Chain A
Amino acid sequence: MQILITLLLVLVLVPPAAAETIYVSNEQDNTVAVVDGATMTLQAAIEVGWRPRGMALSVDKKTLFVAEGDDNRIDVVDLAKRQVVGQLPSGADPEFFVVHPDGKRLFVANENDNLVSVVDIAGAKIIGTVDVGVEPEGMAVSADGRTVACTSETTSMVHLIDATTLELIDNLLVDTRPRAAAFSVDGKQLWVSSEIRGTVTVFDTATRAQTGKIEFEVPGIRREGVQAVGIEMSRDGATAYVALGPANRIAEVDTKTFTVRRLYLVGQRPWHVALSDDQKQLISANGNSGDISFIDLENQEVVKSLPVGRGPWGVVIGP
């Protein structure tokens, strides 16, 4: 009996591996779905502004920022209350943005205005803008906070911005219609996905030279059906996960050899992916099938798909 009680206590006290909450922006429902990571069940839908896409957590992880493309603003969601408690200006048509490691600023891509806007969170105002190429989209910030990267879709470039002076450091040509950008964990590489070419270009951040090009082949799907969109880097730096859009796959890429280790078949048109804090679970937001896929990375299999709303786009995992 005692043993049983001890066992029960252990079970109660040791938190399950994925005691996390998954947030998914539904761009056609104007909601953010709240999903419990442990039970893999839908908990709530937070009403937000029109066409929510890009999302990011505040540094203290108590707040979720949500870019509302058709409302030209960023909603501030209190995660304890699960409701919108404030708004930030964003510039026109915000699609994607990053929270600077200083916790004080957002860098927002204004897709219609060819600008990156810098938003002061506490003051709720735009404190700077940077001219970039046509249709800025993907945003990334280096872990040291020095460099912000922005892709521009029609210009086919990634723009490197000095986060302090807000000057353009460089403009690097990439494959057609770049979407996401991601720095490697050590900050030495910058990865940029191209939607139309279905490739990822890797740059050395010190020399800004191209050091790799990853191509994706999916059996039975033609070249134009394989498109690279969202990128997520594992914390150990060894792996990158790339959403392949209409190919309905997530690619697991070896960051040393730039080879594709395996492909996971998920729902239709995955846009973005996110890793759980323990790095054992990967979630993809699947735009056309209205669900998210749970990928068990230890067993390398897709274990569940969960309907979350219409047009899932962004995915963020929080406590």
Chain B
Amino acid sequence: MAISHIQLGLLDLSLMRLALAFVGLLAVAVPALAEPQTMVIGYLGEQRKLPLPLGPLDEAVTDDGLQGARLGIADDAGTGRFLGQQFRLQERVLKPGEAPAEAVNAFAAAGISFVVADLDAAQLLQASAAPGAQRMTLFNSRDPDDSLRQEDCRRNILHTIPSRAMLADALAQYLVWKGWQHWFLLTGPHPGDLAMAAAFRRAATRFGAQITIDRPWTFRPANGRADTGHVTLQTEIPAATQVGDYDVLVVADEADEFGAYLEGRTALPRTVAGTQGLIATGWSAVDEEWGATQLQDRFHKQSGRWMLPSDYAAWLAVRSIGEAATRLHSLDPAAIAKYLRSDDFLLAGFKGQGLSFRPWDGQMRQPILIAGPRLLVSSSPQPGFLHQRTPLDTLGIDLEESACKF
């Protein structure tokens, strides 16, 4: 927690120079190459107040998102070194309260056309409205809010982080596939919790589940790590969950304040799913399928920690640019921006099938992992959920229901 984003940025610059020197050597060693060209990709993050880690095994992470973008650059360079294409990340982390426009305009002045926008919704919309962003593509690698894909969608934003609707649909498909149709929905007090609960309600309706019990979590955030913390929780949670029968407790607690306390303490012996327990997520360190082992290993080697969903979303953004540059044999920003949004674009993202962007709202289509605390449980879409275009479009806001107008 003592290390700020800025210090990490400086540290990385020297590493980056070394890496560039190395890439340069390789380029010289291959005589057939044309003069290397360089694509500079912007990374715009913001300093966040770290939540108190809920459990003693939780690690405080200060550079989530940024490390994913850095790995994306290294992977882009893997192909680039054979094609005479170099990739570099220009990192900028906003201080608390700092508006993003100035940073975006500075990126534009430096000739940067693609920016990983690791920002919350309000900051993201401000960034996209900056004069410098008008000819840019911003990649939303952070905020799952559905409004950003609906009424607040923007022509210059692509989304690599899954929306709440995608996560809820993915979980709903799995629970319905299991035959756990009767849900007890328990929702925290924060705006993100309420939005996630709304997504769960929508998903239940779409896939034939019923929310038979729908309750807010009304206790104050507890600290289970007090010396006798479990005693209070052991009394509180059975009381809070004494609500009649249901198949599965679906929890909406994005703030991670109480969801993790539920498992093993509910009045009835039922599975907990949602934001804790069995979770739906764009990425999880427990996944090693579809070749993910290699991505997890190189991420861990680079950053000394596990890859988080925001890291993966930032990695997807940088890799999308690299993939487009590979296929086009070009670093021309206009051509890349166009290709990213075309039917031909397909990214390998270690999820067993190619990923692409939905033309109607800029959201990246992707399988969603259903993960337990230690192992992968499943991946949605589930078998039997069909769609006229691709089963991936059974997750999230579909063309026909889109309110996005660019």
A134 touches B78 (CB 8 A): yes
Question: Which B residues lie within 8 Å of A157 (CB)?
Answer: 79, 82
- Identity of the chain B residue whose Cβ is nearest the Cβ of A111 in the assembled complex: B294
- Identity of the chain B residue whose Cβ is nearest the Cβ of A157 in the assembled complex: B82
Query: Which of A60-68, A120-128, A139-147, A171-179 lines the interface with chain B?
Result: A171-179
Question: Which A residues lie within 8 Å of B82 (CB)?
Answer: 133, 155, 157, 171, 173
Does B21 count as interface, using CB distance less than 8 angstroms?
no
Question: Which B residues lie within 8 Å of A224 (CB)?
Answer: 346, 353-354, 390, 392
A133 touches B79 (CB 8 A): yes
Question: Which A residues lie within 8 Å of B391 (CB)?
Answer: 222
- Identity of the chain A residue whose Cβ is nearest the Cβ of B354 in the assembled complex: A196
Q: How far is the CA of A173 from the CA of B326 in the complex (A)?
A: 8
Question: Which A residues lie within 8 Å of B294 (CB)?
Answer: 93, 111-112, 135, 153-154
Q: How far is the CA of A114 from the CA of B22 in the complex (A)?
A: 15
Q: How far is the CA of A227 from the CA of B294 in the complex (A)?
A: 20
Q: Which of under 10, 10 to 19, 20 to 34, or 35 or more describes the interface residues of A?
A: 20 to 34
B353 touches A156 (CB 8 A): no
Helix, strand, loop or mixed for chain A's interface? Answer: loop
Question: Which B residues lie within 8 Å of A135 (CB)?
Answer: 291, 294
Does A197 count as interface, using CB distance less than 8 angstroms?
yes
- Identity of the chain B residue whose Cβ is nearest the Cβ of A133 in the assembled complex: B78
Partner of A177, one of B30, B83, B293, B348: B348
Does A31 count as interface, using CB distance less than 8 angstroms?
no
Question: Which B residues lie within 8 Å of A134 (CB)?
Answer: 75, 78-79
A155 touches B78 (CB 8 A): yes
Q: Which of under 10, 10 to 19, 20 to 34, or 35 or more describes the interface residues of B?
A: 20 to 34
Contact with B along A87-118 (1 / 0, CB 8 A): 00000010000000000000000011010000
Q: How far is the CA of A171 from the CA of B33 in the complex (A)?
A: 11
Does B347 count as interface, using CB distance less than 8 angstroms?
yes
Does A152 count as interface, using CB distance less than 8 angstroms?
yes
Partner of A176, one of B291, B346, B352: B346
Question: Which A residues lie within 8 Å of B30 (CB)?
Answer: 168
Shortest CB distance A152–B (Å): 7
Does A312 count as interface, using CB distance less than 8 angstroms?
no
Question: Would you list which residues of chain A between 191 and 231 have a CB under 8 Å from chain B?
Answer: 195-197, 222, 224-225, 227
Does A270 count as interface, using CB distance less than 8 angstroms?
no
Shortest CB distance B332–A (Å): 17
Partner of B354, one of A152, A154, A197: A197
Does B298 count as interface, using CB distance less than 8 angstroms?
yes
Shortest CB distance A215–B (Å): 13
Question: Which B residues lie within 8 Å of A114 (CB)?
Answer: 78
Shortest CB distance A1–B (Å): 61
Partner of A222, one of B75, B297, B390: B390
Q: How far is the CA of A135 from the CA of B326 in the complex (A)?
A: 16
Q: How far is the CA of A168 from the CA of B75 in the complex (A)?
A: 20
A154 touches B78 (CB 8 A): yes
Question: Which A residues lie within 8 Å of B293 (CB)?
Answer: 93, 112
Q: How far is the CA of A35 from the CA of B391 in the complex (A)?
A: 37
Does B323 count as interface, using CB distance less than 8 angstroms?
yes
Q: How far is the CA of A227 from the CA of B352 in the complex (A)?
A: 10
Shortest CB distance A53–B (Å): 12
Q: How far is the CA of A227 from the CA of B353 in the complex (A)?
A: 8
Shortest CB distance A172–B (Å): 9
Question: Which A residues lie within 8 Å of B353 (CB)?
Answer: 196, 224-225, 227, 246
- Identity of the chain B residue whose Cβ is nearest the Cβ of A177 in the assembled complex: B348
Shortest CB distance A52–B (Å): 15
Question: Which A residues lie within 8 Å of B390 (CB)?
Answer: 222, 224
Partner of B78, one of A152, A173, A227: A152
Question: Which A residues lie within 8 Å of B297 (CB)?
Answer: 112
A154 touches B75 (CB 8 A): yes
Question: Which A residues lie within 8 Å of B354 (CB)?
Answer: 176, 196-197, 224
B298 touches A112 (CB 8 A): yes
Q: How far is the CA of A246 from the CA of B290 in the complex (A)?
A: 12
Given A152-B78, A196-B346, A225-B353: A173 and B291 interface contact (C-beta under 8 Å):
no
19 additional contacts (CB under 8 A) given A93-B294, A196-B347: A112-B293, A112-B294, A114-B78, A135-B291, A135-B294, A156-B326, A176-B354, A177-B348, A196-B346, A196-B348, A197-B346, A222-B390, A222-B391, A224-B346, A224-B353, A224-B390, A225-B353, A227-B353, A246-B352
Residues of A whose CB lies within 8 Å of any CB of B are 93, 111-112, 114, 133-135, 152-157, 168, 171, 173, 176-177, 195-197, 222, 224-225, 227, 246
Q: Which A-B residue pairs are the 9 nearest by beta carbons?
A: A134-B78, A177-B348, A224-B353, A171-B82, A196-B354, A155-B79, A196-B348, A155-B78, A176-B348
Write 7 A-B pairs (CB below 8 A) sorted by A numbering.
Answer: A133-B79, A153-B291, A153-B348, A154-B79, A154-B348, A155-B82, A173-B79
